[in-house]
Structure 1
Amino acid sequence: MATKRAYASPLRQQAAARTREQVLRCAAGLFAGRGYGRVTVADIAAAAGVSPKTVFASVGSKSDILDRIVDQGVTASGHEEAVGRLLGLSDPRDLLRELAAATRLGNEGQFVVHEAIRKALPAHEQAEELWERATGEYRRALGAVARHLDTLTPRPPTSVEETADLLWFWFGPSGWRTLVVENGWSWERAERFLCRTATATLC
């Protein structure tokens, strides 16, 4: 007797994908606003306009939701393409100007996701691993830029390791957050300042 094959409706799959995106978007907003520890699956369900059962079925537990948010943030950062462009530049001033613009674009576009992750750290049982997943590739990309800067003229007056540390200090998520959130600067003002500071120090 032939086994009945399950039929996967494209429309149903599209609807499920939209539901997942809605759940993740609402969860990121709630985590960023209230903090991971203060948000329940019921809160996420209410914000997304679905039942808690649908949240569990489409994405999983609250921890699963945060995992998906981290993965989405890493995928959406576009760091590989940006680094490829930067490594093709031969003038250090042009490179730092492009780096400031690219990291602003990434941090501004992923701000809610970054805040969701940051505010989850005190309440998440695997906070260190979570932060490494969220920022590891970003930091390694800045390390690649530091190594490239060391091959250009004029070379930075710092070692490659120190240059990489400085790039992370200026252009990592915490540097942007300090200027934009804590100091209330515009993203444009922060970009100009970071570019000017990096150029004055390294060139």
Structure 2
Amino acid sequence: MSGPVKRRYDSSRRQEQARENRRRILDAAHTLFVTKGYGRTTIADVAAEAGVAPETVYSAFKNKPALLHRTWDVAVGGDDEDVPMLERPELRALFAEPDLRARFTAFAVVNTAAMRRTARLHLAVRGAAASDPAAAAMLAEIDRQRLAAMAGHAEAASATGQLAVAEEECRDVLWSTTDGTLWHRLVEGREWSDERYAAWLGRLWVSSFVVAFS
């Protein structure tokens, strides 16, 4: 009996160690992509920052573009769980809110938290896109995914009967104000707090999109 028990214990411990290594690698990659730049960061750099061997990084993520992709996914979601954004509780709560003013106000808070996690990385990918094909492909994918997500928000907003503009206009303005540029300029450039930024963004969206009732 002792043999099988030991093997199960060892397997569990190895799996937990592998998960911990992946978390450390992803944290290291995010830090280096933002501070050093995607193009100048090597797998060896990531391994050293994470305290693992380069072979461990390759084993977990295969190559640097795959590592960038997973780093982005974790930054967007806020964790390494494979749960689509639209199925996460904070997004489900948004779509369940019937009052469009309250919905856009709450969405601004959710988006601000996402910008805190992703804006610097997005800027790093954008900066590398001109000279690195993998970064360019990642940037295009990010923009496509965000446009699809904002189309979903605009469609749902239109369905409430409270949208004051065309659905396409709502989609495009949401898409243009959620790429991290505004957050970076106002929070990091002008030292706004996240709370001030979220309140401002909510007012902007409400005034731009929601029917004014007398």
Q: CA deviation at 1:38?
A: 1.3
Scaled by the length of structure 2, the TM-score of the pair is 0.77
The 8 Å contact of residues 69 and 113 in structure 1, kept in 2 or not, is answered as no
Structure 1 residues 57 and 83, CA gap change in structure 2 (3 angstroms): closer
Give the SS at the match of 1:38. coil
Q: Of 77, 85, 91, which residue of structure 2 is paired with 1:79?
A: 85
Q: CA deviation at 1:117?
A: 3.4
Letter in 2 for 1:30: L
Alignment of 1:1-203 (within 5 A): 9-76=11-78, 79-80=85-86, 81=88, 82-111=90-119, 113-156=121-164, 158-203=165-210
**Equivalent residue pairs, number:** 196
Q: Unmatched 5+ residue regions in structure 1?
A: 1-6
The 8 Å contact of residues 146 and 163 in structure 1, kept in 2 or not, is answered as yes
| 2-structure distance, mates of 1:111, 1:174 | 7
| 2-structure distance, mates of 1:182, 1:125 | 29
Q: CA deviation at 1:126?
A: 3.4
Scaled by the length of structure 1, the TM-score of the pair is 0.81
The 8 Å contact of residues 31 and 120 in structure 1, kept in 2 or not, is answered as no
Q: CA deviation at 1:111?
A: 4.4
Q: Unmatched 5+ residue regions in structure 2?
A: 1-6
The 8 Å contact of residues 97 and 103 in structure 2, kept in 1 or not, is answered as yes
Structure 1 residues 185 and 175, CA gap change in structure 2 (3 angstroms): same
Structure 1 residues 123 and 48, CA gap change in structure 2 (3 angstroms): farther
The 8 Å contact of residues 32 and 119 in structure 1, kept in 2 or not, is answered as no
The 8 Å contact of residues 28 and 116 in structure 1, kept in 2 or not, is answered as no
Q: CA-atom RMSD, angstroms? A: 2.6
The 8 Å contact of residues 75 and 117 in structure 2, kept in 1 or not, is answered as no
Q: CA deviation at 1:109?
A: 3.3
Q: CA deviation at 1:74?
A: 4.7
Letter in 2 for 1:32: V
Q: CA deviation at 1:18?
A: 1.1
The 8 Å contact of residues 26 and 47 in structure 1, kept in 2 or not, is answered as yes
Letter in 2 for 1:68: R
The 8 Å contact of residues 119 and 179 in structure 2, kept in 1 or not, is answered as no
